[in-house]
Amino acid sequence: MATGFFISEPVDYQVEKAINLEPVLDVYKIQTINKLDTRIAKNCSKKGRTFEYIYSDKNANPKSCVLDNVIIFRDNTVEHNKLCAISYDYVYENNKLVRNKYSLKKIMPDETINGTFYNGVFNETDSDYTFFGEVPIIEYINTEEKQGDYEPVISLIDAYNLLQSDRLNDKEQLVDAILCVYGMSMTPEQKELLKEKRMLVNIPPDAKIEYLTKALNEADNDVLRGVIEQDIHKISMVPNMSDVNFAGNSSGVAIKFKLLAFLYLIKNKERCFEEGLLDRFRMYNYFLNIKSNMPIIPTHEIDIVFKHSLPSNDLEIAQTISYLDGKVDNETLISQLSFIKDASEITEIVKKEKESNTMKYLGQFGDINNQDE
């Protein structure tokens, strides 16, 4: 739920009009970087952090992928600058795991060395030069504590699963309950008749027959299940959208108030994720500067905008935009609409349409310059 709300929409990069981001954004589009962003966000939600590796493909274009097992070495300064990184993976031969053998990649600012590490000995196989100006590894974190979204509520989830499993087990055991007979002895014929026909005959008047079962209190189980479910959503700060009392006829402000803790969680994830996106942009920009003389763009000039997939009232937003017309730039206003993906592109299209309509209008009166003469 948190990942879908946080990153389901593509991230938007906004700068001043004088700055051209197109070379980097074009490379992003070629490799469908939005899909990678979703995978990174999902891994962070599960594990608390994940790593992105940037490399040059066979066409000499920068490209990114996700690495799972990474160790980053940093200096002991307050900035903790990256010195190098090691990525490792397990080795399988004939579908069997080879003990003490790893496929290893040593990643440095100017070179990446590939090889195998076996019984304490590293054997280099090949190497590649890197042109990103720094160690091309980015660490994305979910929170400052590097906790996944599940970690604070794992015990509650386990308790919920155990409760539901026990309820199912009780139902299964009820089918196989023991039949107790009081005040009589059953003959082999009666046992056979009970087994085959599910009936008994010749029962003495003072006899008693019943199943030995455990008393099930479904009401108490439902109360406990509901309390655990509420605690899971409360502690994880993720609202329960299946709750019938969540929305109802509440106003937009009331719903936002209910989502206040959830929105705080998302803002915290955005701050951590934005740092990694800026690192990626800086490395791509450095690479394209070497390859095609793209100007170096300072990352503080870039605004990263996350679009949330909440139901929106576009009519109300459009009215707000009309009120702010002339007070806020058009690109910022247009970006507020939920169906707009690239505000800068739409702004440019609108500008061209206005110019075209103006020329058509003036064309109805002929050549104004000739009329003046």
Chain segment 240-295, per-residue pLDDT in tens: 877 766 655 555 667 777 788 888 899 999 999 999 999 999 999 999 999 999 99
Distance CA 116, CA 36 (A): 27
Q: Is residue 282 part of a domain?
A: yes
3-class secondary-structure state, position 87 = strand
Q: Is residue 293 part of a domain?
A: yes
Question: Do residues 8 and 81 share a domain?
Answer: yes
Question: Do residues 195 and 105 share a domain?
Answer: no
Question: Do residues 323 and 212 share a domain?
Answer: no
Q: Is residue 256 part of a domain?
A: no
The pLDDT-based confidence of 2 (bands split at 50, 70, 90) is confident
3-class secondary-structure state, position 126 = strand
Q: pLDDT tens digits for 51-107? A: 999 999 888 899 999 998 999 999 999 989 999 999 999 999 888 999 889 999 999
- Please, are residues 163 and 220 in contact by the beta-carbon 8 Å criterion? no
Domain carrying residue 365? 312-373
Say whether pTM exceeds 0.95: no
- Please, are residues 105 and 86 in contact by the beta-carbon 8 Å criterion? yes
**Higher per-residue pLDDT: 310 or 228:** 228
Question: Do residues 131 and 11 share a domain?
Answer: yes
Q: Is residue 259 part of a domain?
A: no
Question: Do residues 126 and 20 share a domain?
Answer: yes
Q: Is the pLDDT reported for residue 373 higher than 50?
A: no
Q: Is the pLDDT reported for residue 45 higher than 50?
A: yes
Q: Which residues pair with 104 in a beta bridge?
A: 88, 115
Q: pLDDT tens digits for 117-170? A: 998 899 999 999 989 999 999 999 998 889 999 999 999 999 999 998 888 888
Question: Do residues 275 and 231 share a domain?
Answer: no
Q: Determine the pLDDT at residue 221.
A: 84
Q: Is residue 349 part of a domain?
A: yes
Look up residue 59 and give its DSSP letter.
Answer: T
**CB within 8 Å of 122: residues ≥ 6 apart:** 104, 115, 116
Distance CA 11, CA 141 (A): 17
Overall domain count for the chain: 3
Instruction: Calculate what percentage of the chain has a pLDDT beyond 90.
Output: 42
Q: Is residue 252 part of a domain?
A: no
Q: Is residue 258 part of a domain?
A: no
Q: Determine the pLDDT at residue 78.
A: 93
Other CB atoms closer than 10 Å to residue 236's CB: what's the count?
20
Tell me which of 308, 338, 361 is where a domain ends.
Answer: 308
Q: What's the alpha-carbon Rg for the chain, to the nearest Å?
A: 33
For 14-28, 219-233, 338-352, which range has the lowest pLDDT when averaged over its residues?
A: 338-352
Question: Do residues 35 and 112 share a domain?
Answer: yes
Distance CA 236, CA 261 (A): 9
Tell me which of 308, 340, 363 is where a domain ends.
Answer: 308
Other CB atoms closer than 10 Å to residue 294's CB: what's the count?
18
Distance CA 149, CA 46 (A): 6
Question: Do residues 50 and 125 share a domain?
Answer: yes
Distances in whole angstroms, Cα of residue 235 to Cα of each of 228, 230, 359? 11, 9, 60
- Please, are residues 20 and 293 in contact by the beta-carbon 8 Å criterion? no
Q: Is the pLDDT reported for residue 346 higher than 90?
A: no
Tell me which of 308, 323, 357 is where a domain ends.
Answer: 308
Distance CA 144, CA 49 (A): 10
Q: Is residue 175 part of a domain?
A: yes
Distance CA 333, CA 347 (A): 10
Mean pLDDT along residues 168-189: 82
Question: Do residues 7 and 67 share a domain?
Answer: yes
Q: Determine the pLDDT at residue 249.
A: 56
Question: Do residues 40 and 78 share a domain?
Answer: yes
Question: Do residues 32 and 122 share a domain?
Answer: yes
- Of 134-143, 232-241, 319-328, highest mean pLDDT: 134-143
Q: What is the CA 185 to chain-centroid distance, rounded? A: 66
The pLDDT-based confidence of 364 (bands split at 50, 70, 90) is low
Question: Do residues 215 and 159 share a domain?
Answer: yes
- Please, are residues 55 and 63 in contact by the beta-carbon 8 Å criterion? yes
